[in-house]
Amino acid sequence: MRRVLVTGGGSGIGRAVARAFSDAGDAVTITGRRMAPLQETDGGRGMDCRVADVTDEGQVDALFERPFDIVIANAGGGSAGRLRDITLSAWNDTLAVNLTGTFLTFRAALDGMEAGGRLIAMASTASLKGGPAIAAYAAAKHGVLGLVRSVALEVAKRGITCNAICPGFVDTPLADKAVTGLMARLEISEEDARERIASGNPAGRFIRPEEVAAAALFLASPEASMVNGHALSVAGGEI
């Protein structure tokens, strides 16, 4: 039975990924800042729920008293805002949870990971392109992709892979924040805001979390052993 760690497992993509691996028979540990959402993700599946902040070095290191076979650095977030309006505090917070959190998670994971291990970062289409009002988030996610590509070269000869999944807008609470922000900036209805965001995807809809989870299952499979340093876009043709 594979041991799997999913950070940010209390909602959204992390929840879907954790449930997918658990339903596949893996022993899953999920982390987040609050216990209640983690327990909701578990839903009686028997996952190990651990409260941890991925920006805290000590808390991250404490998760790895035993090595994991698959580590999915999913925790992330950020708020929209044009560059001139971003405070230094907001900038630092965005980089900390998205980029530094991934760095701390991967560094700790590699200490005991054996051949066949998988490192997967939940990045974004914002890792592959910029966009208005997402300067801090895009900068952090571009950094995640650079980290993934560099780590992939370091671990290839150990039989470990390191990849990124780059979703577009996924139907999650994080997308709901984007909708709310757009409503406020443009003074439009929720329906209009959702339609405007969905129109950025060639398929004309939000991505389902389960579609992202399926990509994670593939990257963690033995058949993906030669997929390394890759940015797998799950975005309906947006990229």
C-alpha distances out from residue 206 to 10, 73, 131, 179, 228, Å: 20, 22, 17, 12, 27
Cβ neighbours of residue 150 closer than 8 Å, sequence gap 6 or more: none
Of 74, 68, 78, give the one whose Cα is nearest residue 116.
Answer: 68
Q: Please indicate whether residue 138 is annotated as part of the active site.
A: no
- Of the chain, the end-to-end C-alpha distance in Å amounts to 35
Q: If 0-12 CB within 10 Å is exposed, 13-18 middle and 19+ buried, where does residue 207 land?
A: buried
Catalytic residue among 137, 139, 143, 236: 137
Asked if residue 229 lies in contact with residue 163, where contact means CB atoms within 8 angstroms, the answer is yes
Active-site residues, by number, are 137
